[in-house]
A and B are shown apart, each in its own frame.
Chain A
Amino acid sequence: GENVEQHPSTLSVQEGDSAVIKCTYSDSASNYFPWYKQELGKRPQLIIDIRSNVGEKKDQRIAVTLNKTAKHFSLHITETQPEDSAVYFCAFRTGYQKVTFGIGTKLQVIP
């Protein structure tokens, strides 16, 4: 079945440093790759997404890169701030609306 590997499972960085989270997916037919952020006690919310016809997308301090050949996609957060501390989930879509999530990365930004 479809699955996605996400790593690392935990990540601690100093405030101002960059954080990178990587995911590898299995289904080559996947065409949509979102990233969600879940703060403690809150619902997951989309922070950035990328479609298979694009290799990179950036939104202020957040960027996502996609390598379809290698089936890898990554989230990059620059100039990290304490409010970036949360669990981040990668996901991919297969079929019409099936969205499968990675196991999550707990990011801690140390002031």
Chain B
Amino acid sequence: ETGVTQTPRHLVMGMTNKKSLKCEQHLGHNAMYWYKQSAKKPLELMFVYNFKEQTENNSVPSRFSPECPNSSHLFLHLHTLQPEDSALYLCASSQSGELFFGEGSRLTVL
């Protein structure tokens, strides 16, 4: 157990649905991340938050909307996604070096 929990572990949604991914870390870290992992572009950085403030947006389409209400929780709100958005979405946290990853949320967009 690395202290980073992601829910749901699996999600199937249609292109018109709205859903959210949740990440929670119990490690006291100040930074949280969303990464997308697919066969074409493994471990692609999406967003970085430091102390609840977004510090990186890696040119992510607006159909992905992150939210960080506090240093322990991170959400990824999804709406009007495309089939090519199907991937494993990994959350991670960090203090000053090592990233601790969650198990990931496997997303399938139909």
Contacts and interface: CB of A to CB of B under 8 A. Distances in A.
Interface of A: 32, 34, 36, 43-46, 49, 87, 89, 91, 93, 95-101, 103-104
Nearest to A97: B31
Nearest to A104: B42
Given A89-B43, A97-B56, 17 more contacts: A43-B101, A43-B103, A45-B101, A46-B98, A49-B98, A96-B50, A96-B55, A97-B50, A97-B94, A99-B45, A99-B94, A101-B35, A101-B43, A103-B41, A103-B42, A104-B42, A104-B43
29 contacts: A36-B99, A43-B90, A43-B101, A43-B102, A43-B103, A44-B43, A44-B99, A44-B101, A45-B2, A46-B99, A89-B42, A89-B43, A93-B97, A95-B56, A96-B55, A97-B31, A97-B48, A97-B50, A98-B45, A98-B48, A98-B55, A98-B56, A99-B33, A99-B45, A99-B94, A99-B99, A101-B35, A101-B44, A103-B41
